[in-house]
Amino acid sequence: MARGGGRGGSLKDKLDGNELDLSLCDLSEVPVRELAALPKATVLDLSCNNLVSLPSDFCSLTHLVKLDLSKNRLQQLPSDFGRLVNLQHLDLLNNRLVSLPVSFAQLKNLKWLDLKDNPLDPVLAKVAGDCLDEKQCKQAAVRVLQHMKVIQSEKDRERQRKLQAEREMEKKREAEQRAREAQERELRKREKAEEKERRRREYDAQRAAKQEMEKKTKKETMQTRKPASSSRAPQPRQHRHSWSRSVLRVLLVVLLCILCALAVCKLTELQHQPLCISVNTLYEDVVAAVQNHKTLQNMLQQNSQQ
């Protein structure tokens, strides 16, 4: 079974109690599905095979308590390797591991660890130390777990910092967006106000032009009507003059009639008639009254001098 079944038979045939030995089976892949069907196999030996990597679903084998992956060609472990929370014993001797996944810190039950003969990062190699006896392997498990917990904390803090930075960046972008929107609203508001002012000026200019045109038209109309009115202006004066002349004529006629009556009553035989007597008496009374009034007398004198 170069891919998953060993050199013959099923995995169930290889199960001895709770131990399943798949070492020296020339495996290049781990038969995860078959292993998952054997939850009693809490001890799994996959040493001395050709494993380059473990599939991601390998971490679903949470029933594993002891795992031997020594003498393979593993370059890295799955990122969620920490899901194997029941793992107590882990042998990774003689692989090609440089580092461990951050989730390794979740293996809280790990009590034994061997990382010898791997091209480990110098810091990790120093933390792990040797695993030449039981005591050293147990100490390696404790130290590596503590180290990975520190790394996990740093990663968590770094992730929190990134999240915080992203949130702040998002807030900054939102603030900038709000500022741009406010600026655009202010710009639209200003443009609208300018447009209203422009239209108001146009309206005022049109109204002023209309008023000026009306004034001009009115002036021209008045100028065209002025000669006609000036030609008709003397008419009332002529009418007044004609009326004055008429009155004067009437007065002259009356005066002439009076003078004629006086002449008749003074110079003819009719002066002894009752009517003439009344006329002569009235004439003498008027003359006497006029003579007694100095102002009229002066006026008469002035008139007589003239």
Residue 109 to residue 142: CA distance in whole angstroms: 10
Task: Report the length, in residues, of the chain.
Answer: 306
pLDDT tens string 196-214: 999 989 999 998 998 888 8
Give per-10-residue mean pLDDT for the chain (306 aa): 49 91 94 94 97 94 97 96 96 97 95 96 94 95 95 90 90 91 91 91 90 86 67 54 76 78 72 74 72 63 62
Contact 106, 82 (CB under 8 A): yes
Q: What beta strand segments (E) does the chain contain?
A: 15-16, 19-21, 43-45, 66-68, 89-91, 112-114
Residue 256 to residue 246: CA distance in whole angstroms: 15
pLDDT tens string 26-85: 999 999 999 999 999 999 999 999 999 999 899 999 999 999 999 999 999 999 999 999
| Tokens coding 141 | 């498990």
Q: Which residues pair with 20 in a beta bridge?
A: 15, 44
**Could you give all domains of the chain from N- to C-terminal order, each with its CATH number?**
12-155 (3.80.10.10)
Count the alpha carbons within 13 Å of 85 in the hemisphere toward its beta carbon: 2
Please give the torsion angle defined by the CA atoms of residues 111, 116, 118 and 119, in that order, rounded to the nearest 10 degrees: 110
CA–chain centroid gap for 250, Å, is 97
